Amino acid sequence: MSATADLLVEPDRLAAELDHADPPTLLDVRWRLTGPPGREDYAAGHLPGAVFVDLDTELCGRPGAAGRHPLPDPAALQAALRAAGVRAGHPVVVYDGGDGMSAARAWWTLRWAGHRQVRVLHGGYPAWTAAGLPVDTDVPAPAPGDVTVAPGALPVLDAARAARLAAAEPGVLLDVRAEPRYFGEHEPVDPVAGHVPGAVNLPAPEYVTQGRFPDADALRERFAAAGVDAGAPVGAYCGSGVTAAQAVLALHLAGRADAALYVGSWSEWVADPDRPVATGGTSGR
């Protein structure tokens, strides 16, 4: 199976899989940074059989000094996934409202937790409805799953490791936020604008468009232009580790399954006033 087929699934392929006797477990993880909660979208219509899982409260820990979307408590994550019907060794498909960010963070979280068989619906809910496929408002009651969360299956950066990677040669720490945030010109969410010293800016729209990725060759070319060397360490961060999870997914599609996520991201970095903040800097364009 190709890397793309192992990570993404198109609507028509998923529809065919859902007709099987033992279909994939579907998780609806629609989310917006400023609300309202995605549960309202789920109630209005979702893929048949999908279970809603909340990014803020079930897939992440409580916001604080570790960032706005820190790692979840493994036991709490396991309970949430089991309640959603996630089974050990059974495939999972996650989808969101179309930008691909919360689905990528859900994908990353399940992979980090040791569940390898998880894919993202390419294009999310809008791609499903645009294909004329059915939606439902019934709320399923899945049989409890038996997944066991085993943290650490994907590499994670903390602040110290992120700083070292940003300063490393030829390693690269990608900052995937919009340019004004990176350059220190504007910060709409966190209390300080700027970036981790040495990080390279590669805004998300440079490698993903409305939740859809180009082919692997195009991704490799784009990341290479930003300084990502095939043999050197690479990591990504954003505001709180959601958009950066999408960057890690893109890096996986490009063949970099070793890409690390700085989960706490900028919201953790600036929680400590002793950490240095850079402005200006290097664009990956």
The set of catalytic residues is 238
How far is residue 218's CA from residue 61's CA, in Å, rounded to a whole number?
34
Q: What is the rounded CA–CA span in Å between residue 244 and residue 265? A: 8
DSSP letters of 190-205?
A: SSS--B-TT-EE--GG
Classify residue 212 by its DSSP letter: B
Alpha helices in the chain (DSSP H): 3-7, 11-18, 38-44, 74-83, 101-112, 124-130, 159-167, 179-182, 216-225, 243-253, 265-269
How buried is residue 275: exposed, middle or buried, by Cβ count under 10 Å (0-12/13-18/19+)?
middle
In one-letter notation, the amino acid at residue 241 is G
